[in-house]
Chain A
Amino acid sequence: MLMCRDLARIASDYIDGELGPMDTVSVKMHLLMCGHCRTFIGNLRHSVDLMKAHSSQHVDEELVRRIDERVTESLNARNSDNGKSY
């Protein structure tokens, strides 16, 4: 018998469809009988959606500025090298 704690252990695998067929059936049976676990799975799924929507992983402007500078420097160095070789 799958208990709530067992279900909590494999909940991500269930959400991602990574469980084997037997385990998937056990989880589905448990969810039919257990409202708490239905809420848990729903909320965990919701947390996943939140992470996906949270693509605002704010760009570190300072780092981007430093990289832009170095890239520009290297591009210029390369262009002037190419110029010499002609």
Chain B
Amino acid sequence: METATHQSDEELLIQGLKSGNEADFRKAVRVYTPGMMAVARYYLDNSTAEEAVQDCWVTVIDAIQNFEGRSGLKTWLHRIVANRSKNHLRKAKREVSADFSETLDPELANRFRPNGRWATPPSLRFDEDAESLMENGALSDCLDQHLATLPETQRSALMLYEAHQHKSNDVCNILDVSASNLRVLLHRARQKIFIMVEKFQETGEC
């Protein structure tokens, strides 16, 4: 029953968008814009990304008529943004640059002895559950701060995979990366978050 209600929620929204209902557009813009920005930021600088996402929403007004629902609305929107962003890049004759060569974060790599054992092991167990930890506004702010300093490629991969819960091959498609390179981006980003949370728990500071 759960899924049935969810489905019809999305279907209702899509119907509303197809009929050009302004309230439904507001709802959709609020829900889907953060994910669309995560996609666009993979390819473009912030202000170009914002423009691309705005332009996408205008094209969606007509394009939604051809939406057949084979993929979810979210995936469909993310693909539109990805294509538009890639076109931008092509016109500007630029490429996304990312380092896929090293899977270990340098800061974490320094915590091992030459023989491969821990020199500075993780000192304590994060045992509070995630939901109650996120009620801690300071940790949430700290997370935002660190997310902002991640390379765009890592941040977008992390957001799409973790926060927007796309499947791996969807993310690969949207970001134009191979499965193994996506694994590198994800792992690098997660290590940064791990290091940040560890420091926060030890010192109470960001």
Contact = CB atoms under 8 A, between A and B. Distances in A.
A16 to B, nearest CB: 8
B122 interface: yes
Contacts, number: 139
A50 B193 contact: yes
Given A54-B163, A71-B58, A8 B29 contact: no
**Size category of the binding interface on chain B:** 35 or more
A12 interface: yes
| Max chain A C-beta neighbours (<10 A), residue from B29, B61, B133 | B29
B100 interface: no
Contact of B187 (A6, A12, A43, A72): A12
A5 B57 contact: no
Interface string A1-43: 0011110111111000010000000000000000011011011
A12 B183 contact: yes
**Size category of the binding interface on chain A:** 35 or more
A70 B54 contact: yes
Interface string A45-81: 0111111111111111001101110111011001100
A71 B77 CA distance: 15
A3 B113 CA distance: 10
Given A4-B118, A51-B193, A43 B112 contact: no
A43 B122 CA distance: 8
A52 B25 CA distance: 26
Contacts of B20: 75, 78-79
A46 B132 CA distance: 12
A5 B163 contact: no
Task: Label chain B's interface by main secondary structure.
Answer: helix
Interface string B61-81: 110000000000000000000
Contacts of A3: 115-117
A23 B191 CA distance: 20
A59 B35 CA distance: 10
Contact of B37 (A4, A53, A60): A60
Contacts of A9: 103-104, 187
B162 interface: yes
Contacts of A4: 112, 116-118
Given A44-B194, A75-B61, A63 B162 contact: no
Given A4-B112, A50-B193, 9 more contacts: A10-B103, A43-B122, A43-B126, A46-B197, A54-B143, A57-B34, A63-B54, A67-B53, A68-B26
